[in-house]
Amino acid sequence: MATPTARTAESTSAAKAALEDILAEIAVPQAVLDEAKVRRNLVLEIAMEHDATRARYVSGSVAHGTHNRPLEDTDCGIKVNRRFEAFRVYGPDGDGRGPEEFIQLFAGFVLLRLRQRGYPNAEVNLDGNRAIKLEFNERVEIDDWGPVDPYVDLIVGLARRAGGLWIPNRRRQGWDPADPQHDTWLMTERDPKRLRVHRAHLLRLAKRAVKRDDVAPGRTKVMHSWNLSALDVVERTESLGTDLAGFFADASTAIAAGLTDDPSPVVEDPIKLPEGVTRDAAATRLNEMAAVVAEALEARSKPGARRVLDALYGPELDAIRERERAGMNRYLKTRGSTPAAALPFTAPTKRTNSDGA
């Protein structure tokens, strides 16, 4: 882990302010989040009407409070009761039948009722490996955000005798152990609220930096989003900048030592890195990210911190600067020429608490 140097309060607050602006820039408007949750809850309500459904759960970034813009989907799932004879044939601890027929059955059940509940153009997309993707094809206009049409990823799992679920793996026509309810508990209930919220902010920033590499020339995403969450290295709530640098450094150290264990006690296999990514490559890139944030902590002004953080959050910071320039130009046009020192300060959009839900 990188050793932090002594920093003035001035420099630390500059980096903190820059990172808070980025958090506001990647935040999902509450109205968009509400629409996504309404759709998710409707899908779960319908799925629970199946006689074999035993329980429901929410999962993924929206449930964990680690979602960023653009928000395209929400995740959820149901657990099927194995006491029903028709479902005893599925799964490794059943008669070993694969998941395809199982998925098709529930996809048809949910889709029919979804169309009857106000979404006549809804469709099922089964191109993915695990989830039933329910596309609503019903755009909703939300303020300045524009049209949104979030879809829902529904995973139908079988209750495991050892705990957790067997979830479909269509690529290999088999089943994988998972424990999404434990994962959501870990992110939203285990720790005090202050730590949960702070961790969600760090994870949102870390996820965005890692995801940026997926589209940057010559770069590749070195870690899946859930892997970042499962590292479970956030133990303090000191400063956004200091703790983000520490998060990246701790993540680098952890992945260099070995793959991340799944946080659930019922899942034995560790979490895999993206295809083609080695632990050394992931550790190196995460350490580079830690160094960028550490350098930003030395900046004496917010513009200076932003210039350093461009290496990780360039598109977000460009959008922030452009909006600030546009705001200043509008102000000058309405008030005439005004000294820069007299210009009003515009605070970034208020962030919502990321507690999950």
Q: Which pLDDT score is estimated for 8?
A: 53
Q: Which pLDDT score is estimated for 140?
A: 94
Cα 296 to Cα 22, 50, 119, 284, 346, distances in angstroms: 13, 53, 48, 19, 22
Two structure tokens written together for 278: 């080695």
What is the spatial distance between Cα 142 and Cα 197, in angstroms, rounded to a whole number? 26
Lowest mean pLDDT among 153-162, 166-175, 232-241, 328-337: 328-337
The per-residue pLDDT for range 134-153, each reduced to its tens digit, is 999 999 998 777 899 999 99
Q: Within a 10 A sphere around the Cβ of 303, how many other Cβ atoms?
A: 11
Amino acid at site 317: L
Beta-ladder partners of 147:
141
Give the chain's domains with CATH numbers. 30-184 (3.30.460.90)
Stretch 229-236: mean pLDDT, rounded?
86
Beta strands in 146-237 (DSSP E): 146-148, 151-159, 165-169, 174-178
The per-residue pLDDT for range 320-337, each reduced to its tens digit, is 999 988 877 776 777 665
Record the pTM: 0.86
Residue recorded with tokens 């998060």 = 247
Query: Are residues 79 and 157 in contact, defined by beta-carbon separation less than 8 angstroms?
Result: yes
pLDDT of 48 above 60: yes
Residue recorded with tokens 């048809």 = 108
From 88, 94, 52, 78, select the one nearest 165 (Cα to Cα): 78
What are the contacts of 337-341 at 24+ separation with CB within 8 A? none
**Omega of the bond leading into 99 within 30 degrees of 0 (cis):** no
Beta-ladder partners of 76:
58, 154
